[in-house]
Amino acid sequence: MIYLDYCATTPMSEKSLTIYSKVAKEHFGNPSSLHDYGTMANHLLEQSREDIAKMIQAEKEGIFFTSGGSESNYLSLLSIARGNKHRGNHIITTKIEHPSVINSLNVLLEEGFTISFVPVNSYGEVELELLEQEINENTILVSIGHANSELGTIQNMKDIGGLLKCKNVLFHSDCVQTFGKIPIDVEAFHLSAVSMSAHKIYGPKGVGAVYLSPDISWQASVPNSSQEKGFRQGTGNVPGIAAFTIAATDSIQSMDNELQRFEQLQKLFLSSIDSSKVILEGHPTRRLAHHLCLRIKGIEGQYMMLECNRRGIAISTGSACKVGQTAPSKAMTETGKNLDEAREMIRISFGVDTTEDHIHYIAKAINDIIENFYY
């Protein structure tokens, strides 16, 4: 079967699997323990913290390890909001954010915070003028994802961050879809917080990280927690964190070459399909190179996904975190599509094992499905 759903998850790399097994066997100590086993585990944990920090041009002290991207979003948003409530209670986001961001903000809504949603344009981009209009004297935090998981559109982080810095507003970004795939610079983007995940970059599931700027105030979600400097509870998953770090290291080192390769695969696909029936959604150029958000005119995405699966191709109809929901993609409706158009969306995403032969195969499959459907 041809796997083309790398934005949902990736297989663990051989290096990541090897490191996980080695650390689990040889450095199984609790990193909080004071004996030598604990000291060795803690050394690995702190080295991983330093390595991850360097990858986003951050300070080691700002890195906290979590159980994944969703927990990273939850803990960072709640910790920042509660730790800055003395400054105000207004938070700004978009309606196209990952469900873990929206769900976390709904928790804060029940605590008395107010949430505003800045609209996005037809490409899924946040426009600075509209963002600035939403900011008021009570605004303490803005959460905008680096790249949308369904549309693939990359936000203008430098300009957004620059505006928020001038307004003295904290900036959180869900970078789960971009960490290890395109450059992230917390200083250049003026980011206060970043959410990351391991399983999107060939690391293990159940591991992630948060960057919190050492310059900002935050409040622990669970008081008196002792792990991760009070940021979260739970014994440090040292094997998972070490495997995450090696997977991230490899992804960063191969980033430039993979970006070029994915751009060529993307162009090859788009030149091989029936453009009168298949529409590329999201921004045509400011988008993730390994990501294609497509709308097949008149054919529901669920049908296309099942027909591709029948032909031995794994794709998706959007974020894996929304599987089972009957409502169409929020990202599609927020960019101006009606409900029927939104239901036509499919997502194809490339990875390390994707070849030109795979692209030729899926392009032909999609063209054949369309032809059989209409004729």
DSSP string for residues in 305-324: HHHHHHTTEE-BSS-GGGTT
For residue 140, give the 3-state DSSP assignment. strand
For residue 189, which amino acid is it?
A: F
Contact 333, 342 (CB under 8 A): yes
For residue 58, which amino acid is it?
A: A
**Pairing outcome for strands 170-174 and 139-143:** parallel
Give the span between the Cα atoms of 69 and 198, in whole angstroms.
8
Instruction: Print burial letters for 176-195: b (CB count within 10 Å at least 16), e (below 16).
Output: bbbbbbbebebeebbbbbbb
Give the span between the Cα atoms of 291 and 266, in whole angstroms.
8
Give the span between the Cα atoms of 268 and 358, in whole angstroms.
11
| Active-site hit among 166, 175, 293, 321 | 321
Give the span between the Cα atoms of 69 and 315, in whole angstroms.
21
Contact 209, 58 (CB under 8 A): no
CB atoms within 10 A of CB 11: 14
Q: Is 175 a catalytic residue?
A: no
3-state percent helix, strand, coil for the chain, nearest multiple of 5 = 40, 15, 40
Instruction: Print burial letters for 269-308: b (CB count within 10 Å at least 16), e (below 16).
Output: bbebbeeebbebbbbeeebbbbbbbbbbeebbbebbbebb
DSSP string for residues in 218-271: ---SSTT--GGGGT--S---HHHHHHHHHHHHHHHHTHHHHHHHHHHHHHHHHT
**Whose CA is closest to 253, among 340, 325, 352?**
352
| Catalytically annotated residues | 321
